[in-house]
């Protein structure tokens, strides 16, 4: 039980400390703490890493503070299209959904894709049909409504501009994710997002793509990313961290540093990632001003937003 | 010009030589030869690798013999949902579409996603809207109709069974792809597929996923895969070849061998890949009985189906 560890994120970006009121900061910190504790409780009870990351991400999806599940941003059509993925490092099984609507917890649906569909990635209306068949919790559009997200959309509605999940003066990549190591030594990762405000054409980012935004392999590490999804897709960012460890023998910290600070920036890859290796080492790194994040390991709990 | 090279594939699988009549084999060989020559002509004229792979894949998409474009298999709903990706190794730019209908040449749409959308991956109805806006060539459902595909669908229609692109006694992963190296030393890769017969839930395989079914990086190699898409997704197969070369210093041949014969089989990853490195070396490898394939380099043209 010494090695059990979990880390989560709630997005990263060019965050302005002065724009964050003490009340708002307390709300974010409270939500992050609740999520990481929920996941840690699963591990502490001897539960599996895959259950811990799903539990933690569900808490973040249920909070309107983060761009995933309730609180997902608006598409150009005024809908909420969400992406999620989950992967377990013991056997490289994975499940993911892209551009899915009205599903309360996309990460739970991704888990069912992994376990019940025979496939890895389902999308759009088809993913919704699978959700319906699996009797996952569905919600009306009103459930996903959030005034802040609506106001963000109104600023760009009718234009061709897509926007990151942002507040005035801020540029935030709103995505949530978790990585965990259980007492059996297994790693898992999960990521969930609403994507970009005013996005069109059922654009899919890195979050639901195994190897890009989400990856877990017991031989090396578990990774969940947040940032400019297109760059993370082109960089195959999460798998690249694994490969640097597996083939070059780098430490988790060094592998993450190379991908986040050397590989991604030339591709306009602003953002960050949470990473956890098989020894329980946690690395939370980003190349922007802040990342909503929390961790619990044998040294205790840490919640942070800025550097 | 010494180094220009191109290779293509038209799917792989458990092929039965006795099921292939001389007439049918001649038809396949003719189509493969036409496609690889079309791509090579682009390179020989000093054209870019990205143009060569698009040109070669378009020829394969336009042939009803292969499960891509015209000749794509039927989904459970009797439609044709196609996936495609294209990537250039010089700057890691990439474009892809998933679950798109009525687009004559999905690879050409993937190219436009790369160049005009600001995104990497578009899906479903949204990808179709983008196609319409970009004025790409669209076709009615009738264009995609093929009696063999229809008969294949009838065998499993109404059941929950999904099938690979197969003939009686055969199990074939019908996908097409191309990799090319141009005179400027740039690599590119492209892949296009109709997926699995009777597929549901807008399942997305590895073909449109950068790093899984398609990858190109001038530092190492260009790859296009064909096989059980779920396994290739979980293995992040194409990027793994790149990583083994970049971080472990392996040759293209050795890196491909490890992924195709050691990494994929434990994940039920039957299939193969075509690979080309920056020196013009071509490797066409598979872990099943056959792969429709062709290549042209300084040693001339080779077209092959079985080992």
Note the pLDDT tens digit of each residue in A242-254: 999 999 999 999 9
| B288 — pLDDT class (breaks 50, 70, 90) | very high
CB contact under 8 A, B92 and A117: no
Question: Is A75 part of the annotated catalytic residue set?
Answer: no
B125 contacts in chain A (CB < 8 Å): 124-125, 202
Give the position of tokens 């790693």: A187
* pLDDT tens-digit series, residues B172-225: 778 999 999 999 999 999 999 988 877 888 899 999 999 999 999 999 999 999
B211 contacts in chain A (CB < 8 Å): 209, 211-212, 233, 236, 239
- Return the number of other C-beta atoms located less than 10 Å from residue A141's C-beta: 11
The residue that leads in pLDDT, B223 or A200, is: B223
**pLDDT over 80 at B101, yes or no:** yes
What CATH number does residue A206 fall under? Answer: 3.60.20.30
Query: Are A93 and A43 a contacting pair, CB within 8 Å?
Result: no
Q: In the prediction, which pLDDT does A299 show? A: 93
CB contact under 8 A, B200 and A130: yes
Helices (H), A182-251: 229-235, 237-248
Which of A119, A163, A266 to probe by mutation at the B interface, max B CB count within 10 Å?
Answer: A119
Query: Are A10 and A28 a contacting pair, CB within 8 Å?
Result: yes
**Mean pLDDT over residues A38-53, rounded?**
98
A99 contacts in chain B (CB < 8 Å): 123-124, 126
H or E element in which residue A291 lies: strand A290-297
Q: Which of B21, B168, B175, B214 is catalytic?
A: B175
B240 contacts in chain A (CB < 8 Å): 239, 243
Considering only alpha carbons, which residue of chain B is nearest residue A85? Answer: B234
A233 contacts in chain B (CB < 8 Å): 94, 120-121, 210-211
**Mean pLDDT over residues A77-89, rounded?**
93
Q: Is the dihedral of CA A68, A70, A73, A75 positive or negative?
A: positive
Of A211, A230, A248, the CB nearest to B239: A211
Spatial separation of the C-alpha atoms in residues A232 and A175, rounded to whole Å: 13
CB contact under 8 A, A212 and B210: yes
Measured CA angle at B214 (ends B55, A112), to 5 deg: 135
> By a Cβ cutoff of 8 Å, what residues of chain B touch chain A?
87, 92-94, 98-99, 117-127, 129-130, 162, 200-205, 209-212, 215, 229-230, 233-236, 239-240, 243-244, 246-248, 267
How many helices (H) and strands (E) chain A has is answered by: 9, 14
Based on the structure, what is the number of domains in chain A? 1
**Mean pLDDT over residues B37-65, rounded?**
97
B122 contacts in chain A (CB < 8 Å): 201-204
Spatial separation of the C-alpha atoms in residues B204 and A97, rounded to whole Å: 9
Q: Which of A175, A191, A220, A226 is catalytic?
A: A175
H or E element in which residue A61 lies: helix A49-62
Q: How far is A123 from chain B (nearest CA, A)?
A: 5
| A52 — pLDDT class (breaks 50, 70, 90) | very high
Considering only alpha carbons, which residue of chain B is nearest residue A195? Answer: B119
B239 contacts in chain A (CB < 8 Å): 211, 236, 239-240, 243
Considering only alpha carbons, which residue of chain A is nearest residue B133? Answer: A201
Query: Are B77 and B60 a contacting pair, CB within 8 Å?
Result: no
Minimum mean pLDDT among A192-201, A264-273, A297-306, B90-99: which range? A192-201
Q: In the prediction, which pLDDT does A167 show? A: 47
Q: In the prediction, which pLDDT does B193 show? A: 95
Spatial separation of the C-alpha atoms in residues A43 and A47, rounded to whole Å: 5
Average confidence score pLDDT of chain B: 92
Considering only alpha carbons, which residue of chain B is nearest residue A126? Answer: B201
Minimum mean pLDDT among A140-154, B53-67, B107-121: which range? A140-154
**Mean pLDDT over residues A148-166, rounded?**
76
CB contact under 8 A, A233 and B215: no
Q: How far is A189 from chain B (nearest CA, A)?
A: 13
Please compute Rg for chain B using Cα positions: 17
**pLDDT over 60 at B167, yes or no:** no
| A190 — pLDDT class (breaks 50, 70, 90) | very high
Average confidence score pLDDT of chain A: 92
| A55 — pLDDT class (breaks 50, 70, 90) | very high
CB contact under 8 A, B123 and A98: yes
Of B127, B215, B230, the CB nearest to A201: B127
| B142 — pLDDT class (breaks 50, 70, 90) | confident
- The full 3-state SS of chain B, as one line of letters, equals CCCCEEEEEEEEEECCHHHCCHHHHHHHHHHHHHHHHHHHHHHHCCCCHHHHHHHHHHHHHHCCCCCCCCCCCCCCCCCCCEEEEEEECCCCCEEEEEEECCECCHHHHHHHHHHHHCCCEEEHHHHHHHHHHCCCCECCHHHHCCHHHHHHHHHHCCCCCCECECCCCCEEECEEEEEEECCCCCEEEEEEECCCECCCCCEECCCCCECCCEEECCCCEEEEEEECHHHHHHHCHHHHHHHHHHHHCCCHHHHHHHHHHHHCHHHCCCEEEEEEECCCCEEEEECCCEEEEEEEECCEEEEEEEC
Minimum mean pLDDT among A190-199, A290-299, B257-266: which range? A190-199
Residue A163 per-residue DSSP state: B
Q: In the prediction, which pLDDT does A150 show? A: 83
User: Phi, psi (5° rounding) for residue A255?
Assistant: -65, -45
Q: In the prediction, which pLDDT does A161 show? A: 75
CB contact under 8 A, A234 and B267: no
CB contact under 8 A, B229 and A120: yes
Spatial separation of the C-alpha atoms in residues B44 and B2, rounded to whole Å: 10
B163 contacts in chain A (CB < 8 Å): none
CB contact under 8 A, B121 and A92: no
Closest CA to B238 of A121, A211, A232, A83: A211
- Residue-range definition of the domain harbouring residue A220: 5-306
**pLDDT over 70 at B1, yes or no:** no
Q: How far is A115 from chain B (nearest CA, A)?
A: 13
Considering only alpha carbons, which residue of chain A is nearest residue B240? Answer: A243
Which of A75, A120, A206, A219 to probe by mutation at the B interface, max B CB count within 10 Å?
Answer: A120
CB contact under 8 A, A123 and B233: no
Spatial separation of the C-alpha atoms in residues A108 and A103, rounded to whole Å: 9
Q: In the prediction, which pLDDT does A171 show? A: 66
B246 contacts in chain A (CB < 8 Å): 243
* pLDDT tens-digit series, residues A59-78: 999 999 999 999 888 888 88
The count of CB pairs under 8 A between chains A and B is 153
Spatial separation of the C-alpha atoms in residues A248 and A263, rounded to whole Å: 16
Give the position of tokens 């909070």: A63
CB contact under 8 A, A230 and B202: no
Q: How far is A196 from chain B (nearest CA, A)?
A: 11
Count of CA atoms in the C-beta half-sphere (13 A) of A233: 28
């Amino acid at each position: 039980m010494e090695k059990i560890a979990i880390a989560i994120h709630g997005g990263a970006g060019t965050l302005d400390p002065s724009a964050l009121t003490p009340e708002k900061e307390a709300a974010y910190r409270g939500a992050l703490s609740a999520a990481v504790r929920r996941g840690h409780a699963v591990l502490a009870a001897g539960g599996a890493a895959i259950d811990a990351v799903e539990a933690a991400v569900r808490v973040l999806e249920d909070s309107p503070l983060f761009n995933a599940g309730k609180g997902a941003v608006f598409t150009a059509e005024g809908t909420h299209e969400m992406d999620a993925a989950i992967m377990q490092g013991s056997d490289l099984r994975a499940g993911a959904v892209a551009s899915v609507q009205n599903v309360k917890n996309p990460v739970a649906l991704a888990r069912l894709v992994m376990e019940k569909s025979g496939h890895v990635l389902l999308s759009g209306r088809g993913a919704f049909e699978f959700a319906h068949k699996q009797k996952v919790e569905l919600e009306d559009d009103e459930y996903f409504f959030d005034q802040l997200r609506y106001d963000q959309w109104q600023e760009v509605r009718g234009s061709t501009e897509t926007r990151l999940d942002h507040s005035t003066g801020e540029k935030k990549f709103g995505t949530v994710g978790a990585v965990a190591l259980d007492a059996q030594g297994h790693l898992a990762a999960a990521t969930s997002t609403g994507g970009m405000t005013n996005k069109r054409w059922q654009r899919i980012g890195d979050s639901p793509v195994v190897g890009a935004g989400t990856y877990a392999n017991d031989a090396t590490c578990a990774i969940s990313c947040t940032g400019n999804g297109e760059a993370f897709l082109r960089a195959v960012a999460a798998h690249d961290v694994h490969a640097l460890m597996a083939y070059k023998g780098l430490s988790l910290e060094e592998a993450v540093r190379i991908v986040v600070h050397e590989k991604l920036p030339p591709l306009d890859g602003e953002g960050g990632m949470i990473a956890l290796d098989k020894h329980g080492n946690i690395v939370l790194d980003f190349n922007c001003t802040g990342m909503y994040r929390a961790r619990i390991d044998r040294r205790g709990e840490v919640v942070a937003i800025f550097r």
